[in-house]
Structure 1
Amino acid sequence: IVSTLVAATIVHPVAILCTVFRLGYRYTRLRFWWDDLLAGLSMALDVVCLVSIWILTDSSSVGPVHQPRKALVVAYWFASIAFTSVLWSARLSILYSVMRITPSTMMLRRVMYAMAVSFGLMYISIIIQKVYMCAHHGKWETTHILQCHLGNGIAITELTTDCISDIILVAIPWGLLLRIRLPKAHRKLLLTIFSASIVTTAVSIPHAVFVLGPEGLLSDITAHVEAGVSLIVANLLVILTYIYKVIKH
């Protein structure tokens, strides 16, 4: 419990602060677009994750509030749904960041719209599986440690969709770099997206492995790390662009 609280309290505030900076920067420069809106949505859901984990870790050894059992169950549901939502809204934000600098005449831009739809479908499929599994097997709500064991099916689905989405987020920027000439700043942005997508894959694999495990307890920690890192990565593009401009001038 303490480890989960520490991990969540470190990674989520960092992700939230990065997003606040990103939104403020884009808004003041009048460059607010869909990728920023999705980042803002991801940040709001990340706040839900953080509050939920604070409620879930409320115990005699950690927290002084001593929430009733029903509140803990509700917090678990919010945390479980919000985690997946943070992850996929952050990925959509990254995809729209690439779309933003892709010429509207390119076929690749239409492909990216199709990929955005596929991301949405993958997100919905995971949410449906999670809700069904945890609602159908409700005994976990009465156990000492609140933990809905999702099972191998959902773990495999999460790992598969993580890999597919991350491959897309790596392949599209790389393909754009090879196919057209872009300004130096845009090329650096694409290289950042390319590198950052590899980082999100490296974080998502351990989470899927722990979900596949017999207990799945460590999956709580890796879930919060994965969600926070994904949101941080989505904001890296704007933050690094700002730092580059400050250094250049």
Structure 2
Amino acid sequence: MALVISWPAVVALRAVSSGFLVLGLVLTIFRLTYRVWLRRFWVEDAWAGIAFLCGIAALTSCWTYVDGAGEEVIISFWVYSFAFPSVVWAVRQSILFSIVRIVYETQHLRHMILGLAGLFLGLWAGLVAQKAWQYGHDTTWYHTATTGKVHAFMTRPMVAFELMSDCLSDTILVALPLRLLWSLKLPKRQKRMIFAIFSSSIIVTIISIFRGICQIAKYTTVLPTATDFETSLSLLVCNLLVVVTFLYRIFGFVGADDEVSSDGDDYTTRTTAREVFTTVDLDDPGSSEATSRESQGCNPKGEKTLDTV
């Protein structure tokens, strides 16, 4: 049974989803401005900037598709088809490199991050190449229309590849930081905050699965809205770590946690095997301050230490 929604309702839904996309773009502007102001602009922020530019292209092409006609609609469809996955995958790269900010920048971690970044780039390129071939080698869809708009559907193998890529990448982005953060000595409030931020990628995965179902079932009226929501939620998730840690400090939660310094923007504390307390700045990858204390391998509370500097 086909799912049919009137065109005015589709436009209204796209207006709502576009509102979330605008919010994501605004948060990205705040994030980039804040990081430049702190002089801590890094790789993850560069990827957020790429996601921002692709988000602008997606938002613009979305509404030129809705309001346009003829060749303008075809061009808008092409632009949106590539801008949308570019936003999602650029956000995933940004989240991946964000992990380095909350753990020590060891050689093993760096190699693992670079390997996963290469994997993500490969999946991204594979999806874009499939779309370019599918939409370009057979242009008969230029003359088809649903609710007065041309549209081309991805094949089932393409949808399966996209869903597999989405689930694999989002699982990595949830499991990796949770595994790395599990052994960190953090106050409970701070640990819950970081866990919740990285786990939010699950929401994007759910939307991605729903969008894949719409692709297979050819729910043309629902598919664009699902795609818009995935794009906007990806941008929101991308900026959560920076924005939430900023608010975490502004509202004084840092001072409420034991053993957490409030001297900087937001800090986590790790204990080393030689009783070296290292303060790692969440806003500065790879930077740390350490103070040593004589110890026999245990901290003042008698707890086992976590790692060695």
**Alignment TM-score, normalising by the size of structure 1:** 0.90
Q: What is the match of residue 28 of structure 1?
A: 37
| Residues 116/189 of structure 1: CA separation in 2 closer, same or farther (3 Å cut) | farther
1:39 aligns with 2:48: yes
Task: Report matched runs for 1:27-176 at 5 Å.
Answer: 27-58=36-67, 67-105=68-106, 107-144=108-145, 145-176=149-180
Q: What is the match of residue 195 of structure 1?
A: 199
Q: What is the match of residue 246 of structure 1?
A: 250
- What does the per-residue CA deviation read over 1:73-117, in whole Å, with 9 as the maximum and x for residues that have no partner? 111100010000000001111111112232122523321211111
1:237 aligns with 2:237: no
Give the distance between the partners of 1:163 and 1:8, measured in 2 at CA.
22
* Aligned-partner SS, 1:57: helix
| Residues 239/181 of structure 1: CA separation in 2 closer, same or farther (3 Å cut) | same
Percentage of pairs with the same residue? 31
Give the distance between the partners of 1:68 and 1:202, measured in 2 at CA.
32
Unaligned runs of 5+ in 2: 1-9, 256-309
1:16 pairs with one of 5, 21, 25: 25
- What does the per-residue CA deviation read over 1:200-236, in whole Å, with 9 as the maximum and x for residues that have no partner? 2122111111111134442211111101101110101
Give the CA deviation at 1:12: 1.4
Q: What is the match of residue 227 of structure 1?
A: 231
- How many residue pairs get matched? 241
Give the CA deviation at 1:132: 0.8
Report if aligned partners of 1:42, 1:85 keep a CA contact under 8 Å in 2.
yes
Give the distance between the partners of 1:139 and 1:146, measured in 2 at CA.
10
1:211 aligns with 2:201: no
Higher strand share: 2
| Residues 205/118 of structure 1: CA separation in 2 closer, same or farther (3 Å cut) | same
* Aligned-partner SS, 2:150: coil
Structure with the greater alpha carbon radius of gyration: 2
Unaligned runs of 5+ in 1: 59-66
* Aligned-partner SS, 2:200: helix
* Aligned-partner SS, 2:153: coil
- What does the per-residue CA deviation read over 1:7-37, in whole Å, with 9 as the maximum and x for residues that have no partner? 4421211110110111111111111111111
**Alignment TM-score, normalising by the size of structure 2:** 0.73
Name the amino acid aligned to 1:42: A
**Aligned-residue CA RMSD in angstroms?**
2.0
Give the distance between the partners of 2:170 and 2:221, measured in 1 at CA.
25
Segments of 4+ in structure 1 off by > 3 A?
179-190, 214-217
Give the distance between the partners of 1:179 and 1:113, measured in 2 at CA.
22
Name the amino acid aligned to 1:96: F
Give the CA deviation at 1:196: 1.2
Give the CA deviation at 1:179: 3.8
Q: What is the match of residue 63 of structure 1?
A: none
| Residues 38/101 of structure 1: CA separation in 2 closer, same or farther (3 Å cut) | same
